[in-house]
Amino acid sequence: MENKKPVVVGVGELLWDVFPTGKRAGGAPINFVYHATQLGANGYAISAVGNDAFGTEILQELAKNHIANYIDSLTYPTGSVKVELNNGIPSYTIIENVAWDHIPLTQKAIDLVKTADAICYGTLSLRHPDSRNTVTTLLSYARKDALRFYDINLRQHYYSKELIEELLKLANVFKVNDEELTVIKDLFGVKGTDEEVCKYFMDTYNLRYVILTAGEKYSVVYSQTEKSYIEPPKVTVADTVGAGDAFSGAFVQGILSGKSLKEAHKQAVEISAFVCTKTGAWPEYDQVACTK
Protein backbone atom coordinates (compact mmCIF):
# COMPACT_ATOMS: atom_id res chain seq x y z
CA MET A 1 0.00 0.00 0.00
CA GLU A 2 1.36 3.41 -0.96
CA ASN A 3 2.43 5.59 1.96
CA LYS A 4 0.46 8.81 1.83
CA LYS A 5 1.64 12.00 3.47
CA PRO A 6 -0.62 12.93 6.40
CA VAL A 7 -2.84 15.97 5.90
CA VAL A 8 -2.62 18.50 8.72
CA VAL A 9 -4.58 21.72 9.06
CA GLY A 10 -4.00 24.75 11.28
CA VAL A 11 -6.93 27.12 11.71
CA GLY A 12 -6.69 30.46 13.48
CA GLU A 13 -4.52 33.52 13.74
CA LEU A 14 -2.13 34.51 10.96
CA LEU A 15 -0.18 37.65 11.79
CA TRP A 16 3.03 39.58 11.86
CA ASP A 17 5.17 39.22 14.99
CA VAL A 18 6.68 42.71 15.22
CA PHE A 19 10.07 42.60 16.97
CA PRO A 20 12.28 45.59 17.81
CA THR A 21 14.44 44.46 14.88
CA GLY A 22 11.63 44.00 12.36
CA LYS A 23 8.62 41.81 11.61
CA ARG A 24 8.27 38.07 11.02
CA ALA A 25 5.26 36.04 9.94
CA GLY A 26 3.64 33.88 12.59
CA GLY A 27 0.49 32.81 14.43
CA ALA A 28 0.38 29.60 16.48
CA PRO A 29 -1.77 27.36 14.23
CA ILE A 30 0.14 28.48 11.14
CA ASN A 31 3.47 27.90 12.88
CA PHE A 32 2.22 24.37 13.60
CA VAL A 33 1.52 23.84 9.89
CA TYR A 34 4.94 25.17 8.90
CA HIS A 35 6.81 22.68 11.07
CA ALA A 36 4.61 19.69 10.27
CA THR A 37 5.11 20.49 6.59
CA GLN A 38 8.89 20.81 6.95
CA LEU A 39 8.90 17.32 8.45
CA GLY A 40 6.92 15.74 5.63
CA ALA A 41 3.20 16.37 6.15
CA ASN A 42 0.88 18.01 3.66
CA GLY A 43 0.03 21.14 5.64
CA TYR A 44 -2.71 23.71 5.08
CA ALA A 45 -3.44 26.99 6.84
CA ILE A 46 -6.96 28.39 7.24
CA SER A 47 -7.11 32.05 8.27
CA ALA A 48 -7.71 35.58 6.98
CA VAL A 49 -5.58 38.64 6.23
CA GLY A 50 -6.37 42.21 5.38
CA ASN A 51 -6.71 43.58 1.88
CA ASP A 52 -3.61 45.68 2.55
CA ALA A 53 0.13 45.74 2.02
CA PHE A 54 0.81 43.65 5.15
CA GLY A 55 -1.68 41.06 3.90
CA THR A 56 0.02 40.86 0.50
CA GLU A 57 3.40 40.47 2.18
CA ILE A 58 2.29 37.70 4.51
CA LEU A 59 0.73 35.76 1.62
CA GLN A 60 4.08 36.05 -0.14
CA GLU A 61 5.77 34.63 2.97
CA LEU A 62 3.38 31.67 2.96
CA ALA A 63 4.18 31.00 -0.70
CA LYS A 64 7.92 31.35 -0.14
CA ASN A 65 7.75 28.81 2.69
CA HIS A 66 5.55 26.42 0.68
CA ILE A 67 2.62 26.64 3.11
CA ALA A 68 -0.56 25.72 1.24
CA ASN A 69 -3.45 27.81 2.46
CA TYR A 70 -7.06 28.82 2.28
CA ILE A 71 -6.62 32.45 3.29
CA ASP A 72 -9.34 35.01 2.65
CA SER A 73 -8.58 38.71 2.18
CA LEU A 74 -10.95 40.94 4.15
CA THR A 75 -11.52 44.64 4.74
CA TYR A 76 -10.13 44.35 8.28
CA PRO A 77 -6.40 45.01 8.80
CA THR A 78 -3.89 42.17 8.78
CA GLY A 79 -3.14 40.94 12.28
CA SER A 80 -0.03 41.99 14.16
CA VAL A 81 1.52 41.41 17.56
CA LYS A 82 4.15 43.53 19.25
CA VAL A 83 6.77 41.14 20.64
CA GLU A 84 9.17 42.19 23.37
CA LEU A 85 12.01 39.86 24.33
CA ASN A 86 13.54 39.57 27.79
CA ASN A 87 16.50 37.15 27.71
CA GLY A 88 14.91 35.48 24.70
CA ILE A 89 11.52 35.03 26.42
CA PRO A 90 8.71 36.79 24.52
CA SER A 91 5.82 38.88 25.80
CA TYR A 92 3.01 39.90 23.46
CA THR A 93 0.73 42.86 22.82
CA ILE A 94 -1.99 41.67 20.44
CA ILE A 95 -3.92 44.08 18.19
CA GLU A 96 -7.70 43.59 18.23
CA ASN A 97 -10.40 43.53 15.51
CA VAL A 98 -8.13 42.32 12.75
CA ALA A 99 -8.72 40.00 9.82
CA TRP A 100 -8.17 36.71 11.67
CA ASP A 101 -10.92 37.70 14.12
CA HIS A 102 -13.34 37.31 11.20
CA ILE A 103 -12.26 34.10 9.45
CA PRO A 104 -15.15 33.19 7.11
CA LEU A 105 -16.67 29.72 7.03
CA THR A 106 -16.26 28.47 3.45
CA GLN A 107 -17.18 25.25 1.73
CA LYS A 108 -13.59 24.70 0.58
CA ALA A 109 -12.41 24.90 4.21
CA ILE A 110 -15.10 22.42 5.28
CA ASP A 111 -14.10 20.03 2.48
CA LEU A 112 -10.44 20.27 3.52
CA VAL A 113 -11.15 19.56 7.19
CA LYS A 114 -13.17 16.48 6.22
CA THR A 115 -9.99 15.00 4.70
CA ALA A 116 -7.58 16.05 7.44
CA ASP A 117 -5.65 13.62 9.61
CA ALA A 118 -5.07 16.38 12.17
CA ILE A 119 -6.43 19.85 12.85
CA CYS A 120 -4.73 22.25 15.24
CA TYR A 121 -6.43 25.18 16.95
CA GLY A 122 -5.95 27.38 20.01
CA THR A 123 -7.86 29.69 22.31
CA LEU A 124 -6.75 33.08 21.01
CA SER A 125 -8.36 32.90 17.56
CA LEU A 126 -11.78 32.37 19.15
CA ARG A 127 -11.82 35.71 20.97
CA HIS A 128 -14.33 37.09 18.42
CA PRO A 129 -17.70 35.40 17.69
CA ASP A 130 -17.02 35.29 13.93
CA SER A 131 -13.89 33.16 14.12
CA ARG A 132 -15.28 31.25 17.10
CA ASN A 133 -18.19 30.10 14.95
CA THR A 134 -15.91 29.23 12.04
CA VAL A 135 -13.40 27.22 14.07
CA THR A 136 -15.95 25.28 16.09
CA THR A 137 -18.03 24.54 12.98
CA LEU A 138 -14.97 23.31 11.09
CA LEU A 139 -14.06 21.03 13.99
CA SER A 140 -17.51 19.49 13.83
CA TYR A 141 -16.62 18.23 10.33
CA ALA A 142 -13.35 16.57 11.41
CA ARG A 143 -13.18 12.80 11.06
CA LYS A 144 -13.66 10.88 14.30
CA ASP A 145 -10.22 9.31 13.96
CA ALA A 146 -8.48 12.63 13.19
CA LEU A 147 -6.26 14.28 15.79
CA ARG A 148 -8.06 17.37 17.06
CA PHE A 149 -5.12 19.14 18.66
CA TYR A 150 -6.03 21.88 21.14
CA ASP A 151 -2.95 23.94 22.05
CA ILE A 152 -4.46 26.13 24.75
CA ASN A 153 -2.07 29.05 24.07
CA LEU A 154 -3.46 31.53 26.64
CA ARG A 155 -2.75 35.16 25.79
CA GLN A 156 -3.58 38.29 27.80
CA HIS A 157 -7.29 38.26 28.77
CA TYR A 158 -8.55 36.37 25.70
CA TYR A 159 -9.89 33.29 27.46
CA SER A 160 -12.50 32.05 29.91
CA LYS A 161 -13.39 28.77 31.59
CA GLU A 162 -16.44 28.51 29.33
CA LEU A 163 -14.36 28.86 26.14
CA ILE A 164 -11.63 26.46 27.31
CA GLU A 165 -14.23 23.86 28.26
CA GLU A 166 -15.96 24.20 24.89
CA LEU A 167 -12.66 23.64 23.10
CA LEU A 168 -11.66 20.71 25.29
CA LYS A 169 -14.92 18.98 24.40
CA LEU A 170 -13.97 19.26 20.72
CA ALA A 171 -10.42 17.94 21.26
CA ASN A 172 -8.74 14.58 21.62
CA VAL A 173 -5.25 16.04 22.16
CA PHE A 174 -4.58 18.79 24.69
CA LYS A 175 -1.30 20.70 25.00
CA VAL A 176 -0.61 23.08 27.89
CA ASN A 177 2.51 24.60 29.43
CA ASP A 178 3.32 24.71 33.13
CA GLU A 179 2.23 28.34 33.58
CA GLU A 180 -1.05 27.72 31.75
CA LEU A 181 -1.65 24.62 33.85
CA THR A 182 -1.54 26.78 37.00
CA VAL A 183 -4.16 29.10 35.47
CA ILE A 184 -6.57 26.34 34.47
CA LYS A 185 -6.17 24.55 37.81
CA ASP A 186 -7.60 27.68 39.41
CA LEU A 187 -10.25 28.21 36.73
CA PHE A 188 -11.52 24.63 36.99
CA GLY A 189 -10.94 24.22 40.73
CA VAL A 190 -8.77 21.14 40.22
CA LYS A 191 -6.27 20.21 42.95
CA GLY A 192 -3.36 17.80 42.98
CA THR A 193 0.03 17.31 41.37
CA ASP A 194 0.62 18.33 37.77
CA GLU A 195 0.32 14.69 36.75
CA GLU A 196 -2.96 14.28 38.62
CA VAL A 197 -4.32 17.42 36.97
CA CYS A 198 -3.28 16.21 33.51
CA LYS A 199 -4.95 12.85 34.20
CA TYR A 200 -8.07 14.70 35.37
CA PHE A 201 -8.37 16.52 32.05
CA MET A 202 -7.58 13.36 30.09
CA ASP A 203 -10.31 11.38 31.85
CA THR A 204 -12.90 14.17 32.03
CA TYR A 205 -12.68 15.04 28.33
CA ASN A 206 -11.79 11.58 26.98
CA LEU A 207 -8.49 12.70 25.47
CA ARG A 208 -6.01 10.51 23.61
CA TYR A 209 -2.99 12.58 24.65
CA VAL A 210 -2.23 15.32 27.15
CA ILE A 211 1.04 17.18 26.62
CA LEU A 212 2.62 19.30 29.36
CA THR A 213 5.64 21.43 28.48
CA ALA A 214 7.84 23.30 30.93
CA GLY A 215 10.28 25.21 28.76
CA GLU A 216 13.91 24.25 29.27
CA LYS A 217 13.04 22.03 32.26
CA TYR A 218 11.07 19.12 30.79
CA SER A 219 8.06 17.99 28.81
CA VAL A 220 5.79 15.03 29.42
CA VAL A 221 3.25 13.30 27.19
CA TYR A 222 0.47 11.17 28.64
CA SER A 223 -1.74 8.70 26.85
CA GLN A 224 -4.27 6.37 28.42
CA THR A 225 -1.55 3.71 28.75
CA GLU A 226 1.83 5.48 28.53
CA LYS A 227 3.88 8.34 29.92
CA SER A 228 6.92 9.84 28.18
CA TYR A 229 9.15 12.29 30.09
CA ILE A 230 12.06 14.10 28.41
CA GLU A 231 14.41 16.85 29.54
CA PRO A 232 15.38 18.95 26.51
CA PRO A 233 18.97 19.40 25.37
CA LYS A 234 20.83 22.51 26.44
CA VAL A 235 21.06 24.97 23.55
CA THR A 236 22.04 28.58 22.98
CA VAL A 237 18.68 30.37 22.76
CA ALA A 238 18.14 33.04 20.12
CA ASP A 239 14.46 33.34 21.08
CA THR A 240 11.65 30.95 22.01
CA VAL A 241 9.05 32.38 19.61
CA GLY A 242 7.21 29.49 17.96
CA ALA A 243 9.09 26.78 19.87
CA GLY A 244 5.90 25.39 21.39
CA ASP A 245 4.19 25.34 17.99
CA ALA A 246 7.20 23.54 16.53
CA PHE A 247 6.82 20.93 19.29
CA SER A 248 3.14 20.50 18.35
CA GLY A 249 3.78 20.18 14.62
CA ALA A 250 6.64 17.73 15.11
CA PHE A 251 4.68 15.58 17.58
CA VAL A 252 1.62 15.35 15.33
CA GLN A 253 3.71 14.60 12.24
CA GLY A 254 5.52 11.90 14.19
CA ILE A 255 2.35 10.21 15.42
CA LEU A 256 0.73 10.36 11.98
CA SER A 257 3.82 8.92 10.30
CA GLY A 258 3.70 5.86 12.55
CA LYS A 259 6.19 6.73 15.27
CA SER A 260 5.57 5.50 18.80
CA LEU A 261 4.53 8.02 21.45
CA LYS A 262 8.10 8.14 22.80
CA GLU A 263 9.59 8.54 19.31
CA ALA A 264 7.15 11.31 18.38
CA HIS A 265 7.85 13.03 21.70
CA LYS A 266 11.61 12.84 21.11
CA GLN A 267 11.20 14.37 17.66
CA ALA A 268 9.07 17.16 19.11
CA VAL A 269 11.66 17.99 21.78
CA GLU A 270 14.54 18.04 19.28
CA ILE A 271 12.71 20.23 16.77
CA SER A 272 11.56 22.63 19.50
CA ALA A 273 15.15 22.94 20.74
CA PHE A 274 16.35 23.57 17.18
CA VAL A 275 13.80 26.39 16.77
CA CYS A 276 15.03 28.02 19.99
CA THR A 277 18.46 28.41 18.38
CA LYS A 278 16.96 30.45 15.54
CA THR A 279 15.10 33.76 15.37
CA GLY A 280 11.40 33.86 14.54
CA ALA A 281 8.77 31.16 14.25
CA TRP A 282 9.61 29.90 10.73
CA PRO A 283 13.37 29.24 10.65
CA GLU A 284 14.83 27.56 7.63
CA TYR A 285 15.38 23.90 8.38
CA ASP A 286 18.99 22.80 8.09
CA GLN A 287 20.20 19.27 7.41
CA VAL A 288 20.34 18.45 11.13
CA ALA A 289 16.72 19.42 11.73
CA CYS A 290 15.50 17.56 8.68
CA THR A 291 17.00 14.28 9.89
CA LYS A 292 14.93 14.28 13.08
Residue range 189-208, pLDDT digits in tens: 999 999 999 999 999 999 99
Q: 210 Cβ partners below 8 Å, 6+ apart?
A: 173, 174, 175, 176, 198, 199, 201, 202, 221, 222
pLDDT at 280: 64
* Residue 287 pLDDT exceeds 60: no
Choose the weakest-confidence range: 14-23, 63-72, 282-291.
282-291
Percent of the chain past pLDDT 70, that is, above it, reads 94
Q: Output the pTM of the full model.
A: 0.90
d(CA 240, CA 26): 13
**Which residues is 94 bridged to in the sheet?**
81
d(CA 85, CA 103): 29
* Residue 1 pLDDT exceeds 50: no
How many other β-carbons are positioned within 10 Å of the β-carbon of residue 173? Answer: 22
Q: Which domains does the chain have, with CATH numbers?
A: 7-280 (3.40.1190.20)
